[in-house]
Copies of this chain bind each other. A is one copy, B any other.
Amino acid sequence: MNMPLLILTLQKLLGEADLLLDPDDCRPYCKGARYGEGETLAVLRPDSHEQVVEIVRLCQTYHQALLLQGANTGLVAASTPDASGRFFVLSLERLKKHIAIDVVNRSVEVDAGVSLHELNTALEEHGLFFPIDLAANPSIGGMIAANTGGAKLIKYGDVRQNLLGLRAVLMEPAGEVLDLQHALRKNNTGPDLKHLFVGSSGCYGVITRAVLQVHYLPKLTAAALVVPRDQSAVLELLQVLERDCGEYLSAFEGISGAALQAVLRHVPAIKQPFHPEPCPDYCVLIELSSRSDTQAGSDLNALLSGCLEKLFGTVVENAVLGRATELWRIRHAISEAIRHEGKVIAFDIAMPRSALVDFRAQALALIASHYPWIRVMDFGHWADGGCHFNMVWPSDTEQVLSDSVVQEIRDLIYDLVVLGYQGSFSAEHGIGPYNQAYYQRYTPAIQKHLSGQIQDLLDPQKLLGICHFGH
């Protein structure tokens, strides 16, 4: 490859300010928000779709691999270059000129580099929002590539379910544009190719624009932190709430006692919500929300407390109603708080919700028998079957945590989830180098065969992204 000529051509295309070559300038693009660090020789920062087309064409001609990066907030290292240095980072962070809101259609055309917060700021003045509720602030392109779900999936769906259209630049034929920018809720005119790009970790094409369905902002919210009788009562509670508050139910988040205690230990501003009762073994954060404040059913607090009262003494042992923002602070504090306890081994798994009770009991027992010093501090989106079965290797243990032990623990839990409960080893984080081996292990051969064939069609030289979907 004639690298100097490629660099020169890219410099002409992007200008010197947006083709980063100095290692110091490149470094921020080589480090994931939470995990992972690698190397790159160049960071490309186009600010237009046309520049992306040209970059893809050039890189195919020169056989130069590209790693796509939005806000680099992902947790599986799919947008962080590896140590090989073989990738140029194609950062979409400057591709954010276009946000066109169609209020009547409840949809928005948005450039891939726009962040979730930026999008929601633009939508807010119309009383609208994009309802994927995440702790991070990813780019829209990254959200599609990972198909993020978040804490409110049960009411609003995931990214895929709110994706009306997109535009993608293909590596093969190089620089061809697949323009599927429909703002349509019904459109069945052959295979719907946009779904290829959802959850494919930036390996099937470069998304430059999306058309999203958006929703009215909630005007009323009610929330409670509830102590269930026991684990099976969590599922009973979910069923009653889905029936009786179903249209309003926007979150149903389980929080283990260990996770709650970690929050109380490390975030002094948060007080034990059930005081003077002791900290419970398990509790559930319930949120109802309504986009209307004018309707007959607007008293969501009365609705929620009415439902809970009926369950008191049977399904529900204790409950505090509170402001949603206050209660969510507890839930959102978990990830950070448990890191104060030691080294976190995080999981992003899902299964049929009917399996959650059995899985949790079995997984807790497994960990207790194999690694009695580990503290499981899990929390989960029970309504969509998602579970962050996170655990802490305590700072004060004498046991040594090596990579191979982490590997053993992952194998143990993933085997149980996937083989034992027909669950998912990556519910909402997608596939990246951190779980590529599990993709190979758990994906049926014919599925890998077909996903790999499609990758061969779209990128025969494997120049795009860091994941391999074939065998």
- Which A residues have a C-beta under 8 Å from some C-beta of B? 102-107, 127, 146-147, 149, 153-154, 157-158, 160-161, 170, 173, 176-193, 195-196, 198-201, 204, 216, 235, 238-239, 242-248, 290-292, 294-300, 302-303, 306-307, 350-354, 381, 384-386, 422-431, 435, 438-439, 442-444, 446-447, 449-451, 453-454, 457-458, 467, 469
Contact = CB atoms under 8 A, between A and B. Distances in A.
A308 to B, nearest CB: 13
B184 A292 contact: no
Given A105-B385, A157-B161, A298-B297, A244 B188 contact: no
Contacts of A180: 447
11 contacts: A104-B235, A146-B188, A180-B447, A186-B386, A187-B426, A188-B199, A188-B431, A189-B425, A191-B451, A216-B246, A247-B248
A216 B22 CA distance: 58
A352 B105 CA distance: 6
Given A191-B469, A426-B189, A295 B291 contact: no
A425 to B, nearest CB: 6
Contact of A295 (B245, B439, B457): B245
Contact of A291 (B247, B449, B453): B247
Interface residues of A, dominant DSSP: loop
Contacts of A427: 184, 186-188
A181 B423 CA distance: 11
Contact of A184 (B242, B307, B423, B458): B423
A183 B213 CA distance: 25
